[in-house]
Amino acid sequence: MAMWKATKAAICRVKWEERNNRIFLKKSRTIEEVIDSTKVEVAHWSEVAQSSRVRDKVRLEWKAPEGNKVKLNFDGCSYGNPVILGIGILRNSDRRILGMFSGPIGNGNLLKAELLALLQGLKLVKRLGCRHVEVEGDSKVVISWAANSSTTPWTFKYD
């Protein structure tokens, strides 16, 4: 049921956004871009719907990576569109902080915030020369896209 509600909300939101862009900004997107935007919104709203149902039942606990691995924890948030923020921390198996970042990372919605926070974290990992990395975030959608890029919508692959 949550997916159906998310789909309805996403279609309404994308339709409203496209209408306003055409009327007020004289900008329009291709049908493929509108479909991709709708898919992103469905993913976003279904994740929001699921997370609000289980939030009170989940206890979070950070676990250190094993062996010579490091762990990147990241999160993105949207403080009212269009400003998005990201935060991340990189730690080793001794729980020592190797690096971190936080602050504004662009414009967009919550899903884009999560994606850009992951990207910032991966840039930090690369800059520090870490090779064996565990990645942990709270967005199932972003984690699945990172693990299987063929499911990532076109708009995020080439943004």
Task: Give the relative orientation of helices 2-24 and 31-54 as an angle to the nearest 10 degrees.
Answer: 140
Give the lowest-confidence range in 89-98, 124-133, 140-149. Answer: 140-149
* pLDDT recorded at residue 93: 92
Q: Which fold has domain 70-147?
A: Nucleotidyltransferase; domain 5 (3.30.420)
Do the bridges between strand 70-78 and strand 97-107 make them parallel or antiparallel, or are there none, so unpaired?
A: unpaired
| pLDDT per position as a tens digit, 5-31 | 667 777 877 887 887 778 777 888 888
C-alpha 74 chain-centroid distance: 9
| Predicted TM-score (pTM) above 0.85 | no
Helix (H) or strand (E) holding 8: helix 2-24
For 37, 85, 143, 153, the CA distances from 75, given in Å and listed in that order, are 21, 9, 11, 20
Q: Cα–Cα distance between 56 and 96 in angstroms, integer?
A: 29
* pLDDT recorded at residue 14: 81
Q: Is residue 139 helix, strand or coil?
A: coil
Residue ranges per domain, the chain?
A: 2-57, 70-147
| pLDDT per position as a tens digit, 35-62 | 888 888 887 777 766 665 555 555 667 8
CA-wise closest residue to 81 among 103, 51, 52, 112? 112
* Greater model confidence, 87 or 70: 70
Mean pLDDT of 66-75: 92
Local confidence band at 135 (pLDDT 50, 70, 90 cut-offs): very high
Helix (H) or strand (E) holding 84: strand 83-92
